[in-house]
Amino acid sequence: MSRRRPRTTRAAVTAAAASAVLLLASCAPGSPSTSEPGATDDPGRFAVDVDVDTPQLRQAKKRAGIEECPTPDGAAPEATNPMPEVTLACFGGGPAVDLTGLRGPLVLNLWAQWCPPCREELPFYQQLHEQAGEQVTVLGVDYQDTRPDWAMDLLEQTGVTYPNLADPGGKLRVPFRVRGLPGIVFVDEAGEVTAVEYVVIESYDQLADLVDEHLGVAVGTAG
């Protein structure tokens, strides 16, 4: 007696296609067997023995014209949803930054050189920095990246000049519930985290709309 082949419904095909799109649209660190070198048994964290302040990185940072990291103002006592009590190194040299002291309007971009969508987004953040730098501060975080040399090369290749921090050990994973990249954190003038988005930025206008929505700052469009 022959067996019937299981039917594949249109809904199942649609669900599978949607899952594939989501996987392609975002990046997440893999298990220790498939992720970047230096991964630990916890797939959400990386080894922290990554030097993000070497003479080579300092030279590359200077050559690219990347700005120095901001100086925090101190903790925001009135914020109900403040930035986490995390201190990150300034990527390519400079004083470390205590995130609790950062004030906005601020756009914090979580990215890594191993994340394809992140690579495509960087020019849009640079455009925001150039077009609306007096209204909104743009700050990057090279997240769980074991190749800071490649990351710095990427910043130089894409023309990024806004400052960047480094989080090779994944300190932001828990407070921002990071499950994949890219990510955006919005911080207002009082140091309040108004939103955390994990979305792929495909245009400057899309980024400008998110800034307006979460920070109430109209930064204009690409046109």
Domain ranges of the chain: 11-215
pLDDT digits (tens, 9 = 90+) for 201-211: 999 999 999 99
> Tell me, what's the pLDDT at 173?
96
For 11-215, CATH number out of 3.50.50.60, 3.40.30.10, 3.40.50.1820, 3.40.50.2300 equals 3.40.30.10
What is the structure's pLDDT at 26?
60
Between CA 147 and CA 151 the distance in angstroms is: 6
pLDDT in tens, 144-177: 999 999 999 999 999 999 999 999 999 999 999 9
Task: Spell out the residues 6+ positions from residue 98 whose beta carbon is closer than 8 angstroms to its own.
Answer: 72, 85, 86, 87
Dump pLDDT digits (tens) for 2-37.
Answer: 444 444 444 443 444 443 344 344 676 543 322 333
Residue 44, pLDDT above cutoff 60: no
pLDDT at residue 49, rounded to an integer: 86
188 band by pLDDT with thresholds 50, 70 and 90: very high
Two tokens, residue 71: 């100086």
The percent of residues in the chain predicted with pLDDT above 70, rounded, is 77
The Cα–Cα gap between 119 and 100 comes to: 27
Per-residue pLDDT tens over the stretch 62-115: 999 999 999 887 766 677 888 999 999 999 999 999 999 999 999 999 999 999
Give residue 40's pLDDT band: very low, low, confident or very high (50, 70, 90). Answer: very low
Rounded CA-CA distance 47/127 in Å is 33
Q: Average pLDDT in the 129-141 region?
A: 96
